[in-house]
Amino acid sequence: MLPISKNEIVTAHRCIGSKIHRTPILTSKYLDGLTNGQLFFKCENFQKTGSFKIRGATNAIMNLGKGALAKGVATHSSGNHAQALAFAALNMQTKATVVMPSSSSAIKKAAVREYGADIIECEPNQASRESTLETFIEKTGATSIHPFNNYDVMTGQATCAKEILEEMSDLDYIVAPVGGGGLLSGTIMSAQYFSTSTKVVAAEPKGAGDAYQSWMHGEIVPIDHPNTIADGLLTTVGDKTFPVIREFVDEILTVSDEEIIQSMKIIWERMKIIIEPSSAVTLAAVLANPIKFSNKKVALILSGGNVDLKKLPF
């Protein structure tokens, strides 16, 4: 049983359509040859703000009433969700406030400020992030928009796979990265509604393998000290995203950081596009499982393209 209806995804897509890019689906003969399959790359690295996160953030804000909109939105994030919420808020004339660890890079803070959001700094730990956000919410009445464990956000992320399935028929697999599970659960729901013959596979860094562990054990298993170059995938799946994943994911494939970096390099060099390490887990999973994907038609979601060019892993 899915927590979101087909109609909710269709409506969300209609509503946010004019606020986001319809990103292209690219192919590479070289990579088809390498995998003996047909690969289709959904390029959310070209999405507004540089990642798919704008889909969920926009949908969540659009579902707020007038009173809530007047009080603004808030979140804690040091990554793509922060930029996405800031940009979506700017787009919908409401105010965004982002709690960011004091250790966040100047580049990331600048990107959030560029879209007109306020930043509140906190200690660089989960407890401080949450308590700082809570205090702000209590004081101002702003609505907290969680980066993934939120049905409106999950509905927004589902529109990415919906676009893939509108353009592609007979797809055997969609491979999506999994961090907190917003994109993965959305992808699963769209596959269930728009192409029941398409299976959804998750790709996860070994160093942040909570989704794999949770799926194996049937309940959420957090990882104590996640460590991976794919810094968008450090978070643990949530109680709204995990039930969808547990019931419907075809498989969760884990890959090493070495495999992630190698796949990132192949995509940069061969496809001439910039993706962040969290995007490269999907190709890494396909390359590490040649039998599963041989002779298959596979869509891979390249989730984002926000990298610090001064800190490249190659």
Compute the least distance from the CB of residue 45 to its own copies, in Å: 5
Q: Which region among 89-97, 129-137, 237-245, 271-279 touches its own copies (by CB under 8 A)?
A: 271-279
The residue (of 108 and 199) whose beta carbon lies closer to its own copies is 108
The yes or no reply on residue 311 touching its own copies (CB under 8 A) is no
> Are the CB atoms for 77 and 100 separated by under 8 Å?
yes
Q: What is the 3-state secondary structure (H, E, C) of 203-264?
A: EEEHHHCHHHHHHHHCCCCCCCCCCCCCHHHCCCCCCCCHHHHHHHCCEEEEECHHHHHHHH
Compute the least distance from the CB of residue 309 to its own copies, in Å: 5
Binding mask 50-89 for its own copies (x = CB under 8 A): x---------------------------------------
The secondary element (H helix, E strand) that includes residue 76 is: strand 73-76
Binding mask 11-30 for its own copies (x = CB under 8 A): -------------x------
The yes or no reply on residue 232 touching its own copies (CB under 8 A) is no
Dig out the tokens for 11 from the structure.
């409506």
The secondary element (H helix, E strand) that includes residue 40 is: strand 38-43
Residue 200's nearest CA partner among 143, 103, 304, 282 is: 282
The yes or no reply on residue 274 touching its own copies (CB under 8 A) is yes
Dig out the tokens for 100 from the structure.
């960011």
The yes or no reply on residue 296 touching its own copies (CB under 8 A) is no
For its own copies, the binding residues (CB under 8 A) are 24, 45-46, 50, 265, 268-269, 272-275, 305, 309-310, 312, 314
